[in-house]
Chains A and B, each alone.
Chain A
Amino acid sequence: MRRTLRAIPTLLRVGFAESVAYRAEMFVWLLSTTMPLVMLALMSAVAREAPVGRFGQAEFGAYYLAALVVRLNAGAWVIWEVNFEIRQGTLAFRLLRPIHPLVSYACSNVGAMPLRLLASLPVVAAALLTLGPGRFTHDPLLLALFPLTVVGAWLITFLAMAVIGALAFAIDSSSSVFELWLGLYGVFSGYLIPLELFPRWLEVTAKLLPFRFMLSFPVEMVIGMTPRAAALRELAIQWTYVAVLALAARITWRAGLRRFAAFGG
Chain B
Amino acid sequence: MRRYLTLLAIQLRASIAVAMQYRVDFLVQGGLALFWTSWSLVPILVVYGRRSSIAGWSFEEALVVIGWFTVMKGVLEGAVNPSLTAVVEHIRKGTLDFVLLKPADAQFLVSTAKFAPWRSLDVVGGIAIFAVAFDRMGRWPSAGAVLASLVLLLCATLILYALWILVVSSAFFVVKVDNLSFLLLSIFDAARWPADIFRGALRVVFTVIIPLALMTTYPARALLGTLAPSHGALVLVGALAFSAFARFVWLRSIGHYTSASS
Contacts and interface: CB of A to CB of B under 8 A. Distances in A.
Judged by DSSP, the binding face of B is helix
Contacts of A197: 46, 50
Given A176-B28, A183-B36, A34 B50 contact: no
Interface in A180-205: 180, 183, 187, 192-193, 197-199, 202
A32 B187 contact: yes
Judged by DSSP, the binding face of A is helix
B177 A42 contact: no
B124 interface: no
Interface stretch (B63-71, B190-198, B231-239): B190-198
Interface string B32-75: 10001001001100110111001100000000000000000000
B200 to A, nearest CB: 9
Interface string A40-83: 01110110000011000000000000000000000001001000
A84 B55 CA distance: 44
Contact of B39 (A22, A38, A46, A187): A187
B176 A42 contact: no
A28 interface: yes
B187 A187 contact: no
Contacts of B47: 42-43, 46, 193
Contacts of A53: 50
B204 interface: no
A193 B183 CA distance: 21
A183 B39 contact: yes
B186 interface: yes
Contacts of A41: 197-199, 202
Given A32-B186, A80-B179, A179-B32, A192 B43 contact: yes
A176 B27 CA distance: 12
Contacts of A31: 183, 187
Contacts of A179: 32
A148 interface: no
A35 B176 contact: no
A174 B198 CA distance: 36
A41 B190 CA distance: 11
Contacts of B190: 35, 38
B21 to A, nearest CB: 14
Interface residues on B, range: 20 to 34
Contact of B182 (A24, A32, A187, A198): A32
Contacts, number: 79
A33 B187 CA distance: 9
Contacts of B183: 28, 31-32
Contacts of B32: 176, 179-180
Nearest to A191: B43
B174 interface: yes
Given A46-B51, A46-B54, A193-B43, A28 B197 contact: no
A163 B182 CA distance: 21
Nearest to B170: A24
A45 B187 CA distance: 19
A179 B32 CA distance: 10
| Max chain B Cβ within 10 angstroms of own Cβ: one of A41, A46, A52, A199 | A41
A29 B189 CA distance: 15
A28 B187 contact: no
A34 B187 contact: yes
A139 interface: no
Interface string B14-34: 000000000001001100100
B113 to A, nearest CB: 18
B76 to A, nearest CB: 14
27 contacts: A22-B176, A25-B174, A25-B176, A25-B178, A25-B179, A28-B179, A31-B187, A32-B179, A32-B182, A32-B186, A35-B186, A35-B190, A37-B202, A38-B190, A38-B198, A42-B47, A42-B54, A45-B197, A46-B50, A46-B54, A77-B179, A176-B25, A176-B32, A187-B43, A197-B50, A198-B46, A202-B42
Given A34-B186, A42-B197, 20 more contacts: A22-B176, A24-B176, A24-B177, A25-B178, A28-B177, A29-B179, A32-B187, A35-B190, A38-B189, A38-B190, A38-B202, A41-B197, A41-B198, A46-B47, A176-B32, A183-B36, A183-B39, A193-B46, A197-B50, A202-B42
The 3 closest A-B pairs by CB, nearest first: A24-B174, A32-B186, A38-B190
